[in-house]
Amino acid sequence: MTENRLTSRLWVDAHVRTCHINHMPAFVVAKGDEARGGILLKINRFGAGVLTFEQSRNFDGEKIWRRLGPEGGEAEVDADARIAKKRSFDNDLWVVEIEDMAGEYSPDAPISDF
Is residue 1 scored above 70 in pLDDT? Answer: no
* DSSP assignment of 10-59: HHHHHHHHHHHHTT--EEEEE---TTT--EEEEEE-GGG-EEEEEEEE-T
**Residue 60: is its pLDDT beyond 50?**
yes
Q: What is the pLDDT of residues 40-52, one digit of tens each?
A: 999 999 999 999 9
**pTM of the shown model:** 0.92
pLDDT-based confidence at residue 5 (cuts at 50, 70, 90): confident
Q: May I ask the CATH architecture of the domain 8-112?
A: 3-Layer(aba) Sandwich (3.40)
Closest-CA residue to 19 (of 111, 112, 113, 102): 102
Cα Rg of the chain (Å, integer): 14
pLDDT at 24: 97
Per-residue pLDDT at 42:
98
pLDDT tier at 3, thresholds 50, 70, 90 = low
Is residue 2 very low, low, confident or very high in pLDDT (cuts 50, 70, 90)? Answer: very low
d(CA 52, CA 97): 9
Q: What is the mean pLDDT of the chain?
A: 93
Residues in CB range of 38: below 8 A, 6 or more apart: 8, 32, 54, 55, 90, 92, 93, 94
